[in-house]
Amino acid sequence: MPHSLTRVQRVHNPKYQPSGPKSYVFLLNKYNFAPTKPGPYFQGGKVQQKGKHGLGRLFGGKAQVQKVLQKRNATDGQPGDVPAEDQQNDSQYLCTVTIGTPPQTFKLDFDTGSADLWVWSTELPKSTSTSGHNVFDPKKSSTFKKTVGSTWKISYGDGSNASGDVGTDNVNVGGLVIQKQSIELAKSLSAQFSSGVGDGLLGLAYGSINTVTPKPVATPVENMIAQTDIPKTSELFTAYLGSYKDKNDPDHGASFYTFGYLDEKALNGQTPYYTPIDNSKGFWQFKSTTASVGSKKIQRAGNTAIADTGTTLALVDDNLCKAIYDAIPGSKYDDQQQGYLIPSDITVDQLPVVSFDVGGKEFAVQKEDLTFADAGDGFTYGGIQSRGNLPFDILGDTWLKGIYAV
């Protein structure tokens, strides 16, 4: 291992307040899928006008119906917009990265489910409060260069978005300096993006889903691989997602990423298991054709899954969801919270071992991660929920905490 490469510590955000429904709404927005289980949130149609229309423009207008996430009013059942406070807008864990010369420090959410590296910047309007955030100032970096004509925009299913312009600069991730890395500077942030404590996001997915136009830019990992200081045998990154709640475990709840090397201590003498990745959709996607719930093996012909470090929950198909919660005494589905709940007083020995296939070998969810957040009235929101009409599983932190992902 090159001596300059170190672990990128994943630090727990002390202000993070876990909420099952808010985390689920975040995923409905991020992946723009329609729920298939009952609840207040659904995917509806919203008319958007384009072209010449309105007062004095009687001809040439064009109306399009766009699918958007909506919420039923609890009183009369009428559809409406999803309030910003209904979504989990904060990150549970953040990583330190420096950008520019001299280096400016930021706490970013590392996300294998997206491919943009964006940060809060001095280009944000004065009306956007930057209190508590590190804000990138391109004028203070001698190595920053603006990419003329390039812009970026991340849009979610409820219409929320973040956008701005683009430049290049040096980025230090775990001791590895990526030169001339494209940085997306936030110029506009809707409430859903601006209410968390993080300073932006570092996407670890494939560059094909990068949002920069007119031409997508290479991601940090792609540029790391292009640099000659990473050996050909170490064109990789790893994720070891412990929990701050596991401070009494042998690893003391360590949580980190590495870039350009395998952490031998995390491997603990084991040989890594590899499976082919399908990156055609831009994700870390693999075959996942079986699952186990206790002693019951469930066949899932043709099923695939993606690994997403930017997701707190795990989402699977409705049949598998039902099989999991049927095996948990006292669990139930709650329409109001649009999710499965588990009795808070349940003991670990009452929980089944749940495992998911990764290209022919199953890896289990840690039992304590089957529960996610307090749901009130003596129940806890489950860590595994419905993927709705998505054609693949999303295996987030609920599952990733039980493995060392390479």
Annotated catalytic residue, options 308, 369, 393, 397: 308
**Could you report the per-residue pLDDT of 5-41, keeping only the tens digit for each?**
789 998 888 777 889 999 999 899 889 999 999 999 9
Note if 111 is an active site residue: yes
Give the model's pLDDT for residue 233. Answer: 82
**Could you report the per-residue pLDDT of 329-382, keeping only the tens digit for each?**
999 999 999 999 999 999 999 999 999 999 999 999 999 999 999 999 999 999
Annotated catalytic residue, options 109, 111, 165, 357: 111
**Does the pLDDT value for residue 64 go beyond 60?**
no
Structure tokens at 366: 């840690």
The angle at the Cα of 299, spanning 293 to 300, to the nearest 5 degrees, equals 110
The answer to whether the CB of 152 falls within 8 A of the CB of 212 is: yes
Tell me the pairing of strands 314-316 and 393-395: antiparallel
DSSP for 319-348, written as a single string: HHHHHHHHTSTT-EEETTTTEEEEETT--G
Q: Cα(190)–Cα(181) distance, rounded to whole angstroms?
A: 25
Give the model's pLDDT for residue 43. Answer: 87
Note if 229 is an active site residue: no
Which letter does DSSP use for residue 278 in this model?
B
Query: Which residues are 11's β-sheet partners?
Result: 94
Q: List the helix and strand counts (H, then E) for the chain.
A: 6, 27
* Averaged confidence pLDDT in the chain: 88
Confidence of residue 250 (pLDDT cuts 50, 70, 90): low
What is the chain's Cα-based Rg? 22
Tell me the pairing of strands 176-189 and 117-119: parallel
Tell me the pairing of strands 237-241 and 145-155: unpaired
